[in-house]
Chains A and B, each alone.
Chain A
């Protein structure tokens, strides 16, 4: 140490006389800051482009203030209403005033859409009444009922009450096939309208099957890749990666050409007499199609982690086991397999999580019984414009994934996962 001396207390000092410990701390702090500085763009990107939008969107699933903002007066009245007594004149008067306001600001359509989601058929009630609202005079109760008898229906007012609540569990309830009532209770939706629970179950089922199929198909391939000499295995690896580099859409449409009833596979079945020309197999536009296409598309995500883990397992262990008298099976099962578990964990969780939110492939080849929950989230985003319900369904899906991840961590342990 040429540039360090000691002070009177025996503390090490730097060249400029500050204690060495402090200098070291400063230097470490600086380097940490520099590292953080380098990571800052990424952290900001993740925060603003990933976390913030997700949080904002999830909030949409429990918060919709369309009604309260555009119909302020009647919202106040509704908050005090007990949902069972006859609606009062004050409520009708507030409604009439709000209808005039909403008509002027051209927000009546938004309000009407919101209430129509609670009670079908109320959309035209709102737009019609708003058109006439300006001419209405007290007593408003009779005037509004004069416009449409529906205003006398207490069910309509209950729908208004539900809509007027900005923070509402209604969408989350709807995402799991429950109906949120005006008095705060929940009930199951009528049978012909239940759909989401069934879809969540199917989504999990498809994801599990795809993961297991991927494992059964991918494990031998990865094993072969890791044991073959480098030249052959590189060639094989390219065969695994080639589809991986091809567009998802192209691979999916290729499966359509393969599997459709006039497709390659069915033609072969007919040629070999496994099917008749009139009665071809339905291999696509159903769950079978989704399973086949998804397994193929996600296979590289299983093979690559498996391969990279298997590559690190020394072959000497298996040889040692065999030299001590283990059969091929025992040597594999007791010695080799346990060492490949981190790869199975990594590949499994990767494939499962990708599968659970798969969307394009089921949309193209899923037909009716092969569609997944993400297709319905898409439906409510793009077609029905019910973004709050889409957000609630997304929230439920996220919760399921996080829960499964937690279980995985408890049972297998997330540290026990290796990507390479």
Chain B
């Protein structure tokens, strides 16, 4: 009796909640980046649909998704992930497939499939931004600053500590670029044992001077505290420190390693329908362009580029030249090869960890 009452109450609650506005949990990387999403996506979507968005932070990776899906207790509806995780999660059956036909055409009428950066729409993921790993320095401390990736590895020309992400990804690419490998050949070289040795040998030259960071918010802090003279960082974080906090940081775009961030929906997400609607809404031309006025990550739609304006509090700070995809920044850019990393990350992580511990 009690059981059936409870069931009835639960069923009633479900009916009631579906009749009311949906409430979706959107998970992203925190800090200035999440703030840009709240301003450009969450608020307009909430105003339009009357639904509610709960914003949560995480530090990347599929661990939480995997445990939620495998335990059958999914609490997240939408997650902002890197391309390699989107592919991997899709392969492992952790993510819902997203039908690209829900995506609206671009503002200029281009069909969605042609409007997004080619090949970036995958079975389970819809891209939002192009972001990049660059290196930055404090212009008030180094007057005649570094200009090439080689300078980052040259501690005799530019003395001082270096900051790098604690992991092989993008560090090995930058090391090879600094060692003279052309951007187009990086992954061919890295695919050979000699190439890996070569990259580690280059990293060896600055190992003793390196401070390792893990969260994206750390590198601007390391620079501001004077803990490092130069550090690799996500370009949006450095931009935010410059634009919002007036920090005297300079970005060196040479051999930037760029990648995509995408929306994915974990398998069995409690509010799948609303999440799909949010994906379609937030990846429309206007929303992607709007986000770019809060942080310097490039919109994934080509049609958004012409709409990108200036920084939201500084009308004279044009966002276009701050983007990783701006032509003057893009000459030596390296595209992160998700397939290479999907294949080799276990081995290279192991090697990197062993190298660190030596």
* Interface residues, chain A, with chain B CB atoms under 8 Å away: 105-110, 112-113, 116-117, 120-124, 127, 192-195, 198-199, 260-262, 285, 367-369, 371, 376, 379, 381-386
Contacts and interface: CB of A to CB of B under 8 A. Distances in A.
Interface string B79-99: 000000000111111000000
Given A121-B343, A124-B343, A193 B354 contact: yes
Given A285-B212, A376-B353, 12 more contacts: A107-B93, A110-B93, A113-B92, A123-B343, A193-B347, A260-B227, A367-B212, A368-B357, A382-B63, A383-B61, A383-B349, A385-B63
A385 B62 contact: yes
Nearest to A195: B354
Interface in B74-121: 88-93
Contact of A193 (B88, B212, B351): B351
Nearest to B159: A278
A113 B211 CA distance: 31
Interface in B328-350: 339, 342-347, 349-350
Q: Chain B interface secondary structure, helix, strand, loop or mixed? A: helix
A379 B90 CA distance: 22
Nearest to A368: B356
Contact of A198 (B339, B355, B357): B357
The 9 A-B residue pairs with the shortest CB-CB distance, nearest first, are A109-B91, A109-B92, A120-B347, A106-B93, A195-B354, A382-B63, A368-B356, A121-B343, A123-B343
Contacts of A117: 346
A192 B226 contact: no
A285 B164 CA distance: 14
B66 interface: yes
24 contacts: A105-B93, A106-B93, A107-B92, A107-B93, A112-B91, A113-B92, A116-B346, A117-B346, A120-B344, A120-B346, A123-B343, A193-B350, A193-B351, A194-B354, A195-B353, A262-B225, A367-B211, A376-B353, A381-B63, A382-B63, A383-B61, A384-B345, A385-B61, A385-B62
Interface of B: 61-63, 66, 88-93, 200, 211-212, 225-227, 339, 342-347, 349-351, 353-357
B32 to A, nearest CB: 22
A253 to B, nearest CB: 12
A110 B357 CA distance: 29
A383 B63 contact: yes
Contacts of B343: 116, 120-124
A409 B353 CA distance: 36
Nearest to B341: A123
A121 B357 CA distance: 24
Given A260-B227, A262-B225, A385-B63, A127 B357 contact: no
Contacts of B89: 109
Contacts of B93: 105-107, 109-110
Contacts of A195: 350, 353-354, 357
A376 B356 CA distance: 12
